[in-house]
Amino acid sequence: MRAIHNMIWAVALLAAGAVQAGRSCEPQHLGAQTLGRGMQLAASTVRALDDSGARVVLLARAGQDLSAYGLRYSHLGWAYRTAEGPWRVAHKLNDCGSDRGYLYRQGLGEFFLDDLWRHEAVWAVPTPEVQQRLLALLQDGRRTTLLQHAPYSMVSYAWGQRYQQSNQWALETLAMAMEPDTVRTRVQAQAWLRFKGYAPTVLRIGPLTRLGARVSAANVAFDDHPNEKRFADRIETVTVDSALAWLQAARLAAAPERLVP
Partner 1 sequence: MKRHAIHKSLAAAAMAFCLAWGAPAQAQSEASAALSLLPVASIVASTGAASAAAGAVVVLPAALSVAGAVLTVQAVQVSALSTVYVLERASDGARVSVELSDRAAAAAVHGVGTVVTCSVIATGVILSAAGEVLAFVPNALGRALLHNERL
Binding residues among 86-125 for partner 1 as defined by CB under 8 A: 86, 88, 90-97, 102-110, 113-114
Scored b (16 or more CB within 10 A) or e, 62-90 reads bbeebeeeebbbbbbbbbbbeeeeebbbb
24 scored as a contact of partner 1 (CB under 8 A): yes
Number of other CB atoms surrounding residue 221 within 10 Å: 21
The 46-85 site mask, x for binding partner 1 (CB under 8 A), equals x----------------xx-x-xx-x-xxx---------x
178 scored as a contact of partner 1 (CB under 8 A): no
Which of 26, 228 has the CB closer to partner 1?
26
Which of 3, 181 has the CB closer to partner 1?
3
Among 175, 217, 247, 252, which residue interacts with partner 1 (rule: CB under 8 A)? 217
231 scored as a contact of partner 1 (CB under 8 A): no
- Tell me how many degrees the CA angle 228-243-85 measures, rounded to the nearest 5: 145
177 scored as a contact of partner 1 (CB under 8 A): no
- How far is residue 27's CA from residue 34's CA, in Å, rounded to a whole number? 16
Task: Answer for the pair 151, 99: CB distance below 8 angstroms, yes or no.
Answer: yes
218 scored as a contact of partner 1 (CB under 8 A): no
Task: Answer for the pair 145, 103: CB distance below 8 angstroms, yes or no.
Answer: yes
Among 48, 150, 191, 203, which residue interacts with partner 1 (rule: CB under 8 A)? 203
List the interface residues with partner 1, window 143-162 (CB under 8 A): 144-145, 148, 154-155
Which of 12, 127 has the CB closer to partner 1?
12
Sign of CA dihedral 239, 244, 249, 252: positive
